[in-house]
Amino acid sequence: DIQMTQSPSTLSASVGDRVTITCRASQSISSWLAWYQQQPGKAPKLLIYKASILEGGVPSRFSGSGSGTEFTLTISSLQPDDFATYYCQQYKSYYTFGQGTKLDIK
Amino acid sequence: QLQLQESGSGLVRPSQTLSLTCAVSGGSISSGAYSWSWIRQPPGKGLEWIGYIYHTGSTYYNPSLESRVTISIDRSKNQFSLKLSSVTAADTAMYYCARGATAPTHFDYWGQGTVVTVSS
């Protein structure tokens, strides 16, 4: 099984801040990584796939990078709608998700 | 616009079988380009992929659940279904259906989810 570990588990920030979330894989997954945003009570929403490709309709303040075992999701300037929980997902071998990073208002 | 809608039993007794259906609208489940998955999320916890099915009927399951899971497809009704047998309280979760491209893949469309509680 490929394990995905996100850090931090919780992140406090303010509107306008630049934030970065890290996702590490237990073995190389090349660029087979996606990022999702989940608002409370809602289904996850795809933000980025193949590590760095922005899904259509997703604001350009979201970006992804990395390959192999270490990946990052960056939000360049936080907006009020961005306070949510973020998950990474590997799809190199079956599918596993990180445990999530909750982004809340400082 | 593709839409997925889960439905099924919200309360299941321990040791019984959980049954859910995902109705797909705005697109054909028979398209060869996509896989159709079930994913769950226990209360306050993260996401767990359960398995997926192709329009051909080929299935792939999470090894940790494989012995209890069956996913099937009904092309005439444009829907696919999940059965999870011998449930316990640990199977209590929000269950989502989702679309992926040809595996391996990410999930670009999700249903709103349906809550399943396992309790006597």
- pLDDT tens, B37-94? 999 999 999 999 999 999 889 999 999 999 999 999 999 999 999 999 999 999 999 9
Inter-chain residue contact B113 with A99, CB threshold 8 Å? no
* Token pair belonging to B32: 């060869």
Q: How far is A97 from chain B (nearest CA, A)?
A: 6
- Whether A95 has its CB under 8 Å from any CB of chain B: the answer is yes
Q: What is the pLDDT of residue B103?
A: 75
Whether chain B has a CB inside 8 Å of the CB on A96: the answer is yes
pLDDT band at B101 (very low <50, low <70, confident <90, very high): confident
Assess B51–A contact: CB distance below 8 Å, yes or no. no
- Tell me if chain B has a CB within 8 Å of the CB of A56: no
- Please state, in angstroms and as integers, the Cα–Cα distance from residue A44 to each residue in A6, B47, B96, following that order: 16, 9, 9
Q: Is the pLDDT of residue B112 over 90?
A: yes
Tokens of B98: 């989702």
Q: Is the pLDDT of residue B32 over 80?
A: no
Interchain CB distance below 8 Å, B110 and A34: no
Q: What is the mean pLDDT of chain B?
A: 95
Inter-chain contact A45–B110, Cβ cutoff 8 Å?
yes
pLDDT (tens digit, 9 = 90+) per residue, A49-102? 999 999 999 999 999 999 999 999 999 999 999 999 999 999 999 999 999 999
Burial B26-50 (b: 16+ CB within 10 A, else e): eeebeeeebbbbbbbbeeeebbbbb
The pLDDT tens digits of the residues spanning A10-34 come to: 999 999 999 999 999 999 999 999 9
How high is the pLDDT of residue B15? 97
The answer to whether residue B108 neighbours chain A at the CB level (below 8 Å) is yes
d(CA B19, CA B62): 17
**Contact (Cβ atoms closer than 8 angstroms) between residue B62 and residue B70:** no
Per-residue confidence (pLDDT) for residue B55, from 0 to 100: 85
Task: Determine whether the interchain pair B47/A94 forms a contact, defined as Cβ–Cβ distance below 8 Å.
Answer: no
Q: Is B110–A93 a contact, with Cβ atoms under 8 angstroms apart?
A: no
- What would the mean pLDDT of B14-18 be, rounded to a whole number? 98
> What angle is formed at CA B2 by the lines to CA B71 and CA B57, rounded to 5 degrees?
25
